Amino acid sequence: MLDKKIRVLVAKPGLDGHDRGAKVVARALRDSGMEVIYTGLRQTPEMIAEAALQEDVDVVGLSILSGAHMALAPRIMDLLKANGQTNVKVFIGGIVPDEDIPRLMEMGITGVYGPGASTEDIVKDIKNAVK
Amino acid sequence: MISLEESILQGDRLALARLLTQVENDTDDGRAALDALFPHTGKAHLIGITGAPGTGKSSLVNQLALHFRREGKRVAIVAIDPSSPFTGGAVLGDRVRMKDLSGDNGVFIRSMASRGSIGGLAQATANVVQVFDAAGYEIIMIETVGAGQSEVDIAKLAHTTLVVEAPGLGDDIQAIKAGILEIADIMVVNKADRPGAESTEKALKSMLELAHPTQRVFAHHGKYMSAALPIETETNIWIPLIQRTIATDGKGINELAHQIAKHREHLIVSGDWTIRARARLESELDAALQSALMDRFRERVSEDQFNKVMDQVLERSLSPLEAVNMLMNGSLK
């Protein structure tokens, strides 16, 4: 049997076109030995949930800089649940006001990262979350 | 509770996705399910898509999938990208070009990391394909790692192999080199709206003429073809076709799909379908045997013993072949 690889879907829901952050994170996860499925820009929640299902990922990483996280995150959580993927850990990176973070955590989001977050922390948190 | 393989046969997508992971990680559950599903395999048309990085393989797969969906066929896509040789990690980006396919339950895309395999596929690709086959996907497209010249494993796995070229990647000497072009059943000149498409096609054509001097017969195609029988049945030889496409806007896709269908028909009429199936299963059997022997070897020779011999090799007091003999014969000190 081979080592179980951590599979991560990195996706950008919504309409903002800034994917630099998502790419930096994807690269960092790759360098930590994870398999990253990168889906690119302008994904709908449905597309993200579908990709997460087909790829049987352990983690979904959402990059949201548009401010629409309070609309997009619950939708994605619901779809993942509806597909039976209740074990999948969801992380958000981007521009998220501090007061939204507790509400996102309540929804079941595992971690939220803003500007300046270290990729090492993200890697560590993901590894802990899927243990 | 129903078993994993039953849920697969009934079309449970989550079960399918999870089984693919088991198969990819070569777990005991995965192996057991493969055994149970094996009798249901052998129906799908396996289409390999290979070619250099950036030639447009993923976009082409996207367009072909749309075409096959219009024909009402269920389509599975296995897209392989390389793993890092240093960290084992990977960024799998083929889905980026396949957005048109989302929201369609008749399509299932699975990305795979090559995990150290060097032939353009991952070790578990054949098994992943088998699961899709059993699950009732009629068309399975396998997109290789961006291939250079010698990643030719796909030809062993697929019924029909497409080699994708794009203008500007080399002169006609590249076209007569051995390797990847030899495995093509159909050559695709993608990005055909770019300058140089014509000379790329010409180079491929002249290479084909070198390989198949009888190609002149091909020119009389129309005359002999009135019975609607493919000419290949007369000669039993498939002469690779060349098709120009522009994958980003779907040009040439209908023609390409037609040629793929024609190739399938050729395989069936000529008996090559069965021959290829046999060759494929033989190499699978071979690989399984090798890994079983390896397992047995590891059971008998402890890591300690192995490392001891390895140290002697490192000191150059034992050659690698001598070491193998020693390990195999059990004449260890």
What structural domains does chain B harbor? 41-287 (3.40.50.300), 301-333 (no CATH)
β-pair partners for B81: B113
Sign, CA torsion B229/B230/B234/B236? negative
Contacts of A84 in chain B (CB under 8 A): 14
Q: Which residues contact B321 (CB under 8 A, 6 or more apart)?
A: none
How far is Cα B131 from Cα B111, in angstroms, rounded to an integer? 14
pLDDT at B198 over 70: yes
Per-residue pLDDT at A106: 96
Per-residue pLDDT at B58: 94
Per-residue pLDDT at B173: 61
How far is Cα A19 from Cα A16, in angstroms, rounded to an integer? 8
Q: Which residues contact B311 (CB under 8 A, 6 or more apart)?
A: none
Closest residue by Cα to residue B7 from B36, B46, B39, B45: B36
Instruction: For an interface test with A, give the residue of B13, B25, B92, B127 to mutate (most A CBs within 10 A).
Output: B92
Tens-digit pLDDT profile for residues A15-53 = 888 889 999 999 999 999 999 999 988 999 999 999 999
Under 8 Å between Cβ of A93 and A13: no
Per-residue pLDDT at B200: 87
Is A5 within 8 Å of B113 when comparing Cβ atoms?
A: yes
Q: Between B148 and A89, whose confidence is greater?
A: A89
Report the pLDDT averaged over residues B282-295. 88
Per-residue CA distances from B168 to A126, B9, B199, B332 (Å): 42, 45, 9, 57
Contacts of B14 in chain A (CB under 8 A): 53, 83-85
Per-residue pLDDT at B327: 87
Contacts of B111 in chain A (CB under 8 A): 37, 55
Percent of chain B at pLDDT exceeding 70? 87
- Judged by DSSP in three states, B136 sits in coil
Tens-digit pLDDT profile for residues B211-248 = 765 444 444 455 544 434 444 444 578 889 999 999 99
Nearest to A50 among B90, B102, B115 (CB): B102
Locus of tokens 């079309």: B11
Q: In what order do the strands lie in the sheet with B139-143?
A: B107-113, B75-81, B139-143, B45-51, B160-165, B186-189, B241-244
Cα Rg of chain A, angstroms: 13
Confidence of residue B175 (pLDDT cuts 50, 70, 90): low
Q: What is the pLDDT of chain B when averaged over all its residues?
A: 86
Give the angle subtended at the CA of B112 by the CAs of B68 and B247, to the nearest 5°. 40
Per-residue CA distances from B114 to A99, B24, B83, B93, B120 (Å): 42, 10, 5, 13, 7
Per-residue pLDDT at B147: 77
Under 8 Å between Cβ of B109 and A54: yes
Query: How many angstroms separate the CA of residue A50 from the nearest CA in chain B?
Result: 7
Q: Between B237 and B47, whose confidence is greater?
A: B47
Per-residue CA distances from B31 to A56, B121, B128, B161, B327 (Å): 18, 19, 11, 27, 28
Under 8 Å between Cβ of A86 and A58: no
Nearest to B95 among A32, A39, A85 (CB): A39
Report the pLDDT averaged over residues B12-20. 96
Neighbours of B72 (CB within 10 A): 8
Per-residue pLDDT at B233: 44
Per-residue pLDDT at A4: 81
A2 part of contact set with chain B, CB < 8 Å: yes
SS3 for A68-131, per residue? Answer: CHHHHHHHHHHHHHHCCCCCCEEEEEECCCHHHHHHHHHHCCCEEECCCCCHHHHHHHHHHHCC
How far is Cα B115 from Cα B15, in angstroms, rounded to an integer? 23
Chain B residues within 8 Å of chain A (Cβ atoms) = 13-14, 17-18, 20-21, 25-28, 83-84, 87-93, 95-96, 99, 102-103, 108-111, 113, 115
Domain boundaries, chain A: 7-129
Per-residue pLDDT at B231: 47
Is B92 within 8 Å of A37 when comparing Cβ atoms?
A: yes
Contacts of A12 in chain B (CB under 8 A): none
Closest residue by Cα to residue B110 from B4, B247, B18: B18
How far is Cα B98 from Cα B84, in angstroms, rounded to an integer? 23
Under 8 Å between Cβ of B33 and B26: no
Question: Which residues of chain A carry a pLDDT beneath 50?
Answer: 1
ipTM of the modeled complex: 0.93
Per-residue CA distances from B25 to B5, B19, B76, B125, B144 (Å): 17, 10, 20, 11, 19
pLDDT at B13 over 90: yes
How far is Cα B176 from Cα B47, in angstroms, rounded to an integer? 24
Per-residue pLDDT at B118: 81
Q: Could you tell me what percentage of chain B is helix, strand and coil, using 3-state DSSP and rounding each to the nearest 5? A: 55, 15, 35
How far is Cα A69 from Cα A86, in angstroms, rounded to an integer? 20
Q: Between B176 and B241, whose confidence is greater?
A: B241
Under 8 Å between Cβ of B248 and B190: no
Per-residue pLDDT at A1: 43
Q: Quote the distance between the C-alpha of residue B174 and its chain's center.
A: 22
Q: Which amino acid is at B50?
A: T
A120 part of contact set with chain B, CB < 8 Å: no
Cα Rg of chain B, angstroms: 22
On whether the A7-129 domain is CATH 3.40.50.300, my answer is no
Q: Which two tokens stand for residue A38?
A: 């990168």
Q: Quote the distance between the C-alpha of residue B124 and its chain's center.
A: 11
Report the relative pairing of strands B139-143 and B45-51 from DSSP bridges: parallel
Report the pLDDT averaged over residues B98-110. 93
